[in-house]
């Protein structure tokens, strides 16, 4: 369910399912998945924790990654937020 | 609470217990004491005694300030504009009012920048919308300490003919009292006074009136008559705080700078709030990959009472709206509110101990989550 005017984010190379986990675990799972992957890798994070709404953008800012898309998704497991992140150049 | 104010409170329980509206001797004594307290507090806020009122708490004073401004401005409309980092005493009723009417335009939240300062252009645009009755901009934020550019914000509101409500709950007595406002609300606890007493300054030029029937004539424009010992203790605390404020402010700022430097030196810890335009006694930082609740417990175990804006430490499981509005990390958050030196004479030592413990605590809690090398 994305607004029509937005371009769909590029397909993710991998998806991290952090539904049901509370802060700071979704961001830790995301960082673990990012690991040493090449810049440009696209990762999708699924989370239900309300704090992720602030913390995923803050993590991207601190680590130099791009947050491409944030959208609500629903399936049989309930509603979650899907964050699409493109990794930037390693800062360290 | 300031120790001298505590003594005043105890003495006033005997001397000023009576209802100041009664005409018997004890009532007249209570009235005289209350008038003295009003005079001290009004002078401190640079208003006339008749312009000062009380409320049952700081948040209650803020709510009264908003209600009175909206009611007096009801011919213009009922829209309230507020910064996204206002106290919940502004945000919660504002959102509730809009939701009840089913019109989200009745409450507008103005964004802030990464340091927590209001976006003045967005404020100007928001107060320019037809139907706006009042705007609320805090003096300083109680979570991150950032001071708002009130002079400029007041100018923006004046240009639009909109009264500015200023919540000074975090700042009164800690820095100079604000002068740019149309209605001012505060909490006696911020200057070392007792809990359970809010103050409200409504200058005579301000159009402000509460909805509903007029109650028994009370004190000032809110009509709330406080318990006299509380008002006396607040006035005593004000005088004590005012007499030492500059030195207190300088010392607190130096101690907070130590904490800021110690926090910033730990890898992946961000100090939050404006670096210079801030309250002297509040410091906040967020540690990446760290559990805020674990930090609170770990510091508590070592004898430090810290607060946190992290979701896991809130009963609602929602993170601090202030940190979120600033784009700051909300997990692993620590907030320290430095007590006045007169209230906590050992605070410099405590800060030194805290700074020494800080890196180890953060790294330990991070390692517990297996996140030390991320």
How far is the C-alpha of B374 from the C-alpha of B135, rounded, in Å?
43
Cβ within 8 Å, pair B291-A53: no
Chain A residues with CB under 8 Å of B312 CB are 22-23, 51
Q: Is A59 on the interface with B (CB under 8 A)?
A: yes
Q: Is A64 on the interface with B (CB under 8 A)?
A: no
pLDDT in tens, chain B (374 residues): 888 999 999 998 988 888 998 889 999 999 999 999 999 999 999 999 999 999 999 999 999 999 999 999 999 999 999 999 999 999 999 999 999 999 999 999 999 999 999 999 999 999 999 999 999 999 999 999 999 999 999 999 999 999 999 999 999 999 999 999 999 999 999 999 999 999 999 999 999 999 887 766 667 788 888 999 999 999 999 999 999 999 999 999 999 999 999 999 999 999 999 999 999 999 999 999 999 989 999 999 999 998 888 877 777 778 999 999 999 999 999 999 999 998 899 999 999 999 999 999 999 999 998 888 88
Q: Is A21 on the interface with B (CB under 8 A)?
A: no
Query: Looking at residue B220, what is its pLDDT?
Result: 79
**Across chain A, which distance is largest between two alpha carbons, in Å?**
40
* pLDDT tens per residue across span A52-78: 999 999 999 999 999 999 999 877 768
Helices (H), A6-66: 25-34, 52-63
- pLDDT above 70 covers a percentage of chain B that reads 99
- Locus of tokens 């005997």: B14
Residue B164's DSSP bridge partners are: B135
- Locus of tokens 């240009």: B159
Nearest-by-CA chain B residue for A55:
B329
Chain B residues with CB under 8 Å of A51 CB are 310-312, 318-319, 330-331
Task: Name all domains of chain A by residue range, CATH numbers in brackets.
Answer: 14-86 (3.30.110.40)
Side-chain-side CA neighbours of B135 within 13 Å: the count stands at 33
Is the separation of the CB atoms in B211 and B71 below 8 Å? yes
Between A and B, how many residue pairs show a Cβ–Cβ distance under 8 A? 69
Tokens representing B83 are 């910064």
DSSP string for B69-131: HHHHTTTT--EEEEETTS-HHHHHHHHHHHHHHT-GGGEEEEPB-TTS-B-HHHHHHHHTSTT
End-to-end CA distance of chain A: 36
ipTM above 0.90, yes or no: no
Q: Is A53 on the interface with B (CB under 8 A)?
A: yes
Query: Looking at residue B216, what is its pLDDT?
Result: 64
Cβ within 8 Å, pair B331-A57: no
The whole-angstrom distance between B57's CA and the closest CA on chain A is 30
B224 Cβ partners below 8 Å, 6+ apart?
B53, B54, B55, B56, B64, B218
Running DSSP on this structure, what letter comes out for residue B369?
Answer: T
* φ, ψ for residue B124, nearest 5 deg: -60, -45
How far is the C-alpha of B119 from the C-alpha of B76, rounded, in Å?
24
B320 Cβ partners below 8 Å, 6+ apart?
B143, B309, B310, B314, B330, B333
How far is the C-alpha of B227 from the C-alpha of B34, rounded, in Å?
9
Task: Name all domains of chain B by residue range, CATH numbers in brackets.
Answer: 3-240 (3.40.640.10), 245-368 (3.90.1150.10)
Helices (H), B270-346: 292-301, 321-326
Cβ within 8 Å, pair B374-A22: no
Side-chain-side CA neighbours of A32 within 13 Å: the count stands at 15
Measured from the Cβ of residue B365, the count of other Cβ atoms closer than 10 Å reads: 23
pTM: 0.91
Query: Looking at residue A2, what is its pLDDT?
Result: 43
The mean of the pLDDT values for chain A is 87
DSSP string for B135-183: EE--SB-TTT-BBP-HHHHHHHHHHHT-PEEEE-TTTBTTBPPP-S-SE
- Which residues of A are annotated as catalytic? 23
Tokens representing B224 are 């709330």
Query: Looking at residue B223, what is its pLDDT?
Result: 82
Tokens representing B225 are 């008559």
CA B355, distance to chain mean position in Å, is 26
DSSP-derived pairing of the beta strands A66-75 and A78-86? antiparallel
* φ, ψ for residue B167, nearest 5 deg: -90, 110
The whole-angstrom distance between A53's CA and the closest CA on chain B is 8
Cβ within 8 Å, pair A25-B327: no
CA distances from B54 to B58, B186, B226 (A): 9, 9, 6
- pLDDT above 90 covers a percentage of chain A that reads 68
- Locus of tokens 């609602």: B316
Chain B residues with CB under 8 Å of A57 CB are 327
B268 in helix, strand or coil? Answer: coil
DSSP-derived pairing of the beta strands B164-167 and B132-136? parallel
- Of A28, A32, A54, nearest to B330 by CB-CB distance is A54
B337 in helix, strand or coil? Answer: strand
């Amino acid at each position: 369910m994305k607004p029509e005017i937005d371009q769909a984010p590029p397909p993710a190379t991998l998806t991290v399912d952090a539904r049901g986990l509370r802060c700071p675990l979704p961001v830790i799972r995301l960082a673990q998945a990012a690991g040493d992957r090449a810049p440009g890798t696209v990762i999708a994070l699924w989370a239900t924790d309300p704090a992720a709404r602030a913390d995923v953008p803050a993590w991207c800012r601190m680590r130099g990654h791009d947050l491409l898309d944030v959208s609500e998704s629903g399936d049989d497991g309930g509603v979650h937020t899907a964050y699409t992140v493109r990794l930037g150049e390693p800062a360290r | 609470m300031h120790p001298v104010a505590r003594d005043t409170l105890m003495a006033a329980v005997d001397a000023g217990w009576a209802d100041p509206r009664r005409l018997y001797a004890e009532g007249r004594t209570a009235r005289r004491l209350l008038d003295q307290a009003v005079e001290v507090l009004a002078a401190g806020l640079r208003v006339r005694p008749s312009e000062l009122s009380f409320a049952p708490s700081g948040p209650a004073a803020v709510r009264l300030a908003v209600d009175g401004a909206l009611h007096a401005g009801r011919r213009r409309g009922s829209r309230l504009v507020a910064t996204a980092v206002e106290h919940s005493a502004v945000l919660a009723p504002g959102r509730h009012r809009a939701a009840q009417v089913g019109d989200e335009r009745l409450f507008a939240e103005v964004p802030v920048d990464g340091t927590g300062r209001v976006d003045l252009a967005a404020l100007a645009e928001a107060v320019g919308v037809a139907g706006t009755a009042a705007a609320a901009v805090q003096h300083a934020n109680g979570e991150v300490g950032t001071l708002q550019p009130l002079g400029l914000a007041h100018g923006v509101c004046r240009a639009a003919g909109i009264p500015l409500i200023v919540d000074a709950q975090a700042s009164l007595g800690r820095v100079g009292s604000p002068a740019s406002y149309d209605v001012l609300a505060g909490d006696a606890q911020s200057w070392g006074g007792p809990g359970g007493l809010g103050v409200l300054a409504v200058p005579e030029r301000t159009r402000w009136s509460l909805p509903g029937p007029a109650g028994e004539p009370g004190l000032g424009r809110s009509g709330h008559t406080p318990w006299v010992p509380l008002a006396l203790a607040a006035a005593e605390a004000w005088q004590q705080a005012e007499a030492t404020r500059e030195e207190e402010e300088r010392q607190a700022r130096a101690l907070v700078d130590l904490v800021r430097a110690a926090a910033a030196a730990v890898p992946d810890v961000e100090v939050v709030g404006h670096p210079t335009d801030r309250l002297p006694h509040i410091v906040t930082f967020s540690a990446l990959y760290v559990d805020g609740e674990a930090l609170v417990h770990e510091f508590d175990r070592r004898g430090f009472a810290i607060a946190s804006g992290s979701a896991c430490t809130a009963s609602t499981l929602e993170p601090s709206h202030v940190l979120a509005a600033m784009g700051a990390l909300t997990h692993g958050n620590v907030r320290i509110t430095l007590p006045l030196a007169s209230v906590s004479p050992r605070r410099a030592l405590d800060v030194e101990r805290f700074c020494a413990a800080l890196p180890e605590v953060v790294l330990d809690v991070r390692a517990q989550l297996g996140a030390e090398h991320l």
